[in-house]
Structure 1
């Protein structure tokens, strides 16, 4: 009877794991990259099997540079998410990716598509994870996205883009952000420039650490930033 119960328990666990992999392949793939045919090519960095030596070096160099960029901004890192990467669209679709360049998964891993294998995209997604690792509460989605643009030094949305008017509300929820970004990608510029201006006026990166500390102690997100 005991063996029968054990067998039944194993069957349930397998069914749950199978359901998870079917419904949320990105969660399953970042939890067990090897289960999806990926291999570790560096410290916490996974890529397809049979990569060339040059491709493996590209990934490890990319990961190191992106981690350093985030660490430089924050004065160190409290997060260490796994990087799961694909050089082909077929690989990225298999692990649950879509049309994005990269995405953070449950704040414990980052997936990079063939279009996201560069320092800017990698550090953008790592910046999301780092902020969430430090923050017990929440910030508006536009602040989260704008800060990630600043940390990653994404010049597509900084510099001359900040000369335009930054007035007007920005999307505060994830669903509202996704809707706005799909209609006009330059919403990233508006968010990033607002964050960048706030940083310039408040002492740079330490202002983020101070904000996180205040939010973690129960203060509301500053009304002046909304």
Structure 2
């Protein structure tokens, strides 16, 4: 009886959290009804703003496909199948709660790209984070079972983001090594990001070095699978 009550309470908490998220972030509701927010389907799971010229829509589909290929190269067959909303102007992205970011994602069901993030790198970054979230599950996502620095680091590695990493094949791809433990929680990460302009490069460095030392991307994918199965992160990375 106590277990049943706990499950009901937990389910209610998750539902309330998701309902609040949908209210707070228009992107969540836009993923359910893209046309309600001025989007139309350009390809399976890819939505662009209505009235966009066909050649512009085709260019968007092309870079999204390139981003998906980068994610597939790192993760293998994808488990997540999110809707991808691509804004062609800043007003659209701000309307969905994006602010000044290049892109954003919500759990495993939607990625939104701004005009500044309309390229394979940012698409792959957001899709990698979605793939990780899918594999750790809703509860793992909610309790931040994977440290943010590792999640972001994987996303930068998978997307081959040369803003924060040296070129592939360069041996040590680290550009800026962290001199202190990196923030693991979302709140702390956001707070540090306001004052440390090299935070993302440090996370990319720490993650790329871990991946290299442990035999390649497959080792990171295995860590995520273990965490998704309930193994604590600190134990999974040993």
TM-score (normalizing by structure 1): 0.85
Mean Cα deviation higher: 155-164 or 121-130:
155-164
Residue equivalent to 1:143: 150
Structure 1 consecutive aligned stretches of length 4 or more whose deviation exceeds 6 Å:
223-226
Structure 2 residue aligned with 1:178, among 175, 190, 195?
190
Alignment size in residue pairs: 208
CA 1:208–1:165 in structure 2 vs 1: closer, same or farther (change >3 Å)? Answer: closer
Aligned with 1:39: secondary structure? strand
Aligned with 2:112: secondary structure? strand
CA 1:30–1:71 in structure 2 vs 1: closer, same or farther (change >3 Å)? Answer: same
Does the aligned pair in 1 maintain the 2:226–2:236 contact within 8 Å?
Answer: no
Does the aligned pair in 2 maintain the 1:20–1:28 contact within 8 Å?
Answer: no
1:20 Cα deviation (Å)? 7.9
Is residue 154 of structure 1 aligned with residue 148 of structure 2?
no
Is residue 191 of structure 1 aligned with residue 192 of structure 2?
no
1:186 Cα deviation (Å)? 1.3
Q: How does 1:68-217 map to 2 (within 5 A)?
A: 68-136=69-137, 137=140, 138-159=145-166, 162-217=174-229
Mean Cα deviation higher: 86-95 or 126-135:
86-95
Measured in 2, the distance between the counterparts of 1:193 and 1:20 equals 32
Deviations 1:5-35 (CA, angstroms, capped at 9, x unpaired): xxxxxxxxxxxxxx98764312111221100
1:94 Cα deviation (Å)? 2.3
1:185 Cα deviation (Å)? 3.0
TM-score (normalizing by structure 2): 0.80
Q: How does 1:6-85 map to 2 (within 5 A)?
A: 23-85=24-86
1:168 Cα deviation (Å)? 1.1
Deviations 1:164-190 (CA, angstroms, capped at 9, x unpaired): 433311011001111111222311111
Measured in 2, the distance between the counterparts of 1:217 and 1:167 equals 31
Is residue 219 of structure 1 aligned with residue 212 of structure 2?
no
Structure 1 gaps, min length 5: 1-18
1:145 Cα deviation (Å)? 0.8
- Aligned Cα RMSD in Å? 2.2
CA 1:31–1:206 in structure 2 vs 1: closer, same or farther (change >3 Å)? Answer: same
Aligned with 2:174: secondary structure? helix
CA 1:24–1:220 in structure 2 vs 1: closer, same or farther (change >3 Å)? Answer: closer
Structure 2 gaps, min length 5: 1-19, 168-172
